[in-house]
Amino acid sequence: MSMWQGAWHILVYELRKTRWGFLASFLLAIYMAIVLGMLYQINELDVSAGEYWAIDFVFLTTLPCLGFGLSRSNMFWFNDTYSGKLAEWRTMPITVPQIIWGRILQLAVMLFPMQIIFFLIQYFLVDGLSEAISPGAYLLYGLFWFFYSLGFAATYAIWEYGFTGKTYMLVCVLYCIVFLIISALLSFNGISIVNYSLIGIGNGEWWYLLVGMLVSMIGITISYRGLKHRLETRSFK
């Protein structure tokens, strides 16, 4: 079995196991889109970006998490389920690259429909948004955030598969703290990532999409190399 065939089989297996988690994430995406849609008003884009630090924080932290199905097996603090599963897989004719690419493919397959529904609701719910940006430009805006989300979600996989559940949870908290600091610092300097990317892409500055693709490639590369080394050397005892 080739590397990609093995990754595909892992993807299908994991998607079958997480179908209820997929539904829970889908409902979360709808909830987020509605709540943020009521808070974020396009006719206020010219006000100080500092008023949007919370929206930046939510976008940075939560959008990548839509690639993870919500289930009890993901509540890792007391239940380190992935270590046991990986220990079992390592006794089978499953290679480390197949495991890694299977996980990255799962993240992409989960993220794509979640963000489609999220940004569609945003487009029709946020007052003035559909008039301020064309559908084509908005598609690029959504792709920018998809690539960003995939890149950072991939880095979560290092901690998810490479370390204990408690370490993974602590790192997730650390991610949130770092994103909060970044959002606050940008806000203090009058910058909003959500505003700047939306307005920039709406004005034809499509290089934002290249930035998103670069973030995605860097995140996936870091995840693959870091996780490959970790899984080849980690003890599952």
Amino acid 41: pLDDT = 58
pTM above 0.85, yes or no: yes
Q: How far is CA 44 from CA 23, 60, 121, 131, in A?
A: 33, 21, 19, 14
pLDDT tens for 45-104 read 444 445 678 888 989 999 998 888 765 555 545 556 666 677 666 667 778 888 889 899
Rounded CA gap, 106 and 14, in Å? 8
DSSP string, 159-216: HHHHS-HHHHHHHHHHHHHHHHHHHHHHHHTT--HHHHHHHHHHTT-THHHHHHHHHH
- Ranges of the chain with pLDDT below 50: 43-49, 76
Amino acid 150: pLDDT = 95
pLDDT tens for 90-112 read 667 778 888 889 899 999 998 99
Closest CA to 219 of 133, 159, 176, 164: 159
**Whether the Cβ atoms of residue 215 and residue 151 lie closer than 8 Å to each other:** yes
Amino acid 79: pLDDT = 57
